[in-house]
Amino acid sequence: MSFPESSPRSFKRAILKLSGEALREPGSTDNISPEIVERIASEVRDALAPGDLELGIVVGGGNFWRGASASARGMDRATADYVGMLATVMNSLALQGSLEHHGVTCVVQSAIEMKNVAETFIRRKAERHLGERRVVIFAAGTGSPFFSTDTTAALRASEMGADVVFKATMVDGVYDSDPKKNPDAKRYSRIGFQDCISRQLKVMDATAFSLCMDNNIPIVIFDLGPAGNITKALRGEQIGTVVTGTETVLG
């Protein structure tokens, strides 16, 4: 699919990827900020208001735990990654609570079975939920170690037949160099998958890019910070950088 150039939105089903760090107030010792989670939930509610969008959400766990970092400090990598998967479940439950508070019907599906707190991920069941306009929050990553939640988002998008993946980050798109280090860094409005992979751009991992490229699913990378950006993205407004096809455009 080629991503729409203008509003209104022309996609039916989307996956929204949120980082775990985005749920934490910068500088705070609290792992989850209820205020930030509430804001995210309210923006999702506003985006869903027209009633025609089917939405899945993947949340990272970096506000609690990073498997790669724990592994670098000597912990077995597979064990460290499983701990990280459980962290994503905590974030998913927090987001579910806020979404329900805002009147959004949603369900958490976990790739690791834990019947008392979440449904076990079953692809066809998740598709039915989406088709009935329930938000599905995909927790516990892929259920296997060594895969990031970026890859989870790409995998679930492929399994669900999503039209687009939205990745909410702390920067407003993809740049030709690090904008924090280079004040002259230029932002891409559109960039090809192969360019992202060959230039080793770190906005998503290579496996996630490859999965979306193979399944022709564009990725929109945008800044979570400004209020209303999630709503704008999910409504199909032009925002951030679109990763799609082979086209690369600065500006």
What is the extent of the structural domain holding 150? 13-250
81 is in an annotated binding site: yes
Q: What does the CA dihedral 62, 140, 156, 94 come to, rounded to 10 degrees?
A: -70
142 is in an annotated binding site: yes
62 is in an annotated binding site: yes
CA distance to 16, 136, 189, 204, 250, per residue, from 241 (Å) = 15, 25, 5, 13, 10
Look up residue 148 and give its amino acid: S
Taking 70 as the pLDDT cut, the residues of the chain under it are: 1-9, 67-68, 246-251
* Domain assignment present for 78: yes
* Domain assignment present for 86: yes
50 is in an annotated binding site: no
d(CA 43, CA 39): 6
What's the pLDDT score for residue 251? 56
* Domain assignment present for 128: yes
60 is in an annotated binding site: no
Q: What stretches of the chain show up as alpha helix (H) in DSSP?
A: 34-48, 67-72, 77-101, 123-131, 149-160, 193-198, 206-214, 229-234
* pTM for this predicted structure: 0.92
* Domain assignment present for 3: no
What is the CATH classification number for the domain harbouring 102? 3.40.1160.10
* Domain assignment present for 5: no
d(CA 221, CA 191): 11
88 is in an annotated binding site: no
* Domain assignment present for 4: no
**Which pair of structure tokens corresponds to residue 20?**
């775990």
148 is in an annotated binding site: yes
145 is in an annotated binding site: yes
- Check: CB of residue 5 under 8 Å from CB of residue 234: no
What's the pLDDT score for residue 248? 64
What's the pLDDT score for residue 59? 96
* Domain assignment present for 1: no
- Check: CB of residue 67 under 8 Å from CB of residue 79: no
152 is in an annotated binding site: no
- Check: CB of residue 46 under 8 Å from CB of residue 232: no
19 is in an annotated binding site: yes
* Domain assignment present for 2: no
What's the pLDDT score for residue 247? 66
61 is in an annotated binding site: yes
The domain tally of the chain equals 1
71 is in an annotated binding site: no
Look up residue 62 and give its amino acid: G
Burial bucket for residue 113 (CB in 10 Å: 0-12, 13-18, 19+): exposed
